[in-house]
Amino acid sequence: MSKIKGANVLITGGANGIGKLMGLKCLQESAANLIIWDINEENLDKTSKEFSAKGYKNVITFLVDIAKIDDIEKAATEVLLEIGNIDILINNAGIVAGKQNFWDYTARDIEKTISINVNGPMHVARVFLKDMINQRRGHVVNIASASSFISLPKGSVYASSKWAVFGWSESLRLELEDEGGDLHVTTVCPSYIDTGMFKGVKAPLLFPLLQPEEVANKVIAAIKRNEIILMLPEKTQIVPILKGLMPTRVFDKVASFIGVYTSMSSFEGRPKDERIPDKKKKVK
């Protein structure tokens, strides 16, 4: 069982939303240090002050763009030298691009989504994994999506990024298990969460919007239980089973009927003033 108490926990995208909630819960579980990486300087400052006001003085923030390898490696070097090895890494940062057919995406839309959602988690894990292996202890949590298992019209680039995260995360788990020791990977696959990130989506029948607090609680519980895959809500576990058993056209009809294939048609996402700023300065 992975212990949060006394652990150094690093969360990417941890200054807002689910990442911020998970960070607070780790502090409540007596984490030794909470390291937050985020690209939004204002949110980092607000979150740091908020946590400090609650009595948590062990929060260290860095302004990091996980789409940039240099940012990742520089911040990781500082973390390892000044704080120590990371015991629990939560790859939470991500973006959503949607509401258009694939041929309407720009090259920048595609590159940005893959850089942040796929390359980012891989490079963040890469810079900390060898130290985890050397200490024979560590837990990597990768936030994928329920769309890792199903097609997502009007969200093809987002879905493809999450399919990639799921495949990499599970492969990494098996490699770490071969190393022995107390090394774990948990892959989290939630359906739509009721945050600004998914503003405008229409939740499919049987799969209502998830509440952020609920998701954060279940991820923290999954870490402590060393769960391999966490699917939210639990009924989404039936999706890959049905997809494997049904002929493709039959499954398409079922997915269309319950609204999965039209769920991104009214997607809006975060307002422009809440999206990722173009800033590079590091905050500590």
Question: Which positions are catalytic?
Answer: 158
Query: Which string of DSSP letters, residue by residue, matches 67-89?
Result: T-HHHHHHHHHHHHHHT---SEE
In order of 152, 170, 237, 267, the CA distances from 212 in angstroms are 22, 24, 20, 18
Asked whether the beta carbons of 282 and 62 are under 8 A apart, the reply is yes
Are 13 and 59 spatial neighbours (Cβ–Cβ below 8 Å)? Answer: no
Measured between its terminal Cα atoms, the distance across the chain in Å is 31
Q: Are strands 88-91 and 137-143 parallel, antiparallel or unpaired?
A: parallel
Is the link from the previous residue into 233 a cis peptide, with omega within 30 of 0? yes
Tokens of 9: 């926990």
What DSSP line would sit under 21-34, residue for residue? HHHHHHHHTT-SEE
Instruction: Using alpha carbons, select from 218, 261, 223 the residue that is nearest to residue 239.
Output: 261
AA identity, residue 94: G
For residue 116, give both structure tokens: 């942040």
CA distances from 227 to 104, 185, 188 (A): 38, 8, 9
Structure tokens at 64: 């990091």
Alpha-carbon gap, residue 174 to 234, rounded angstroms: 23
In this structure, is the dihedral angle defined by the CA atoms of residues 38, 43, 45 and 50, taken in order, positive or negative? negative
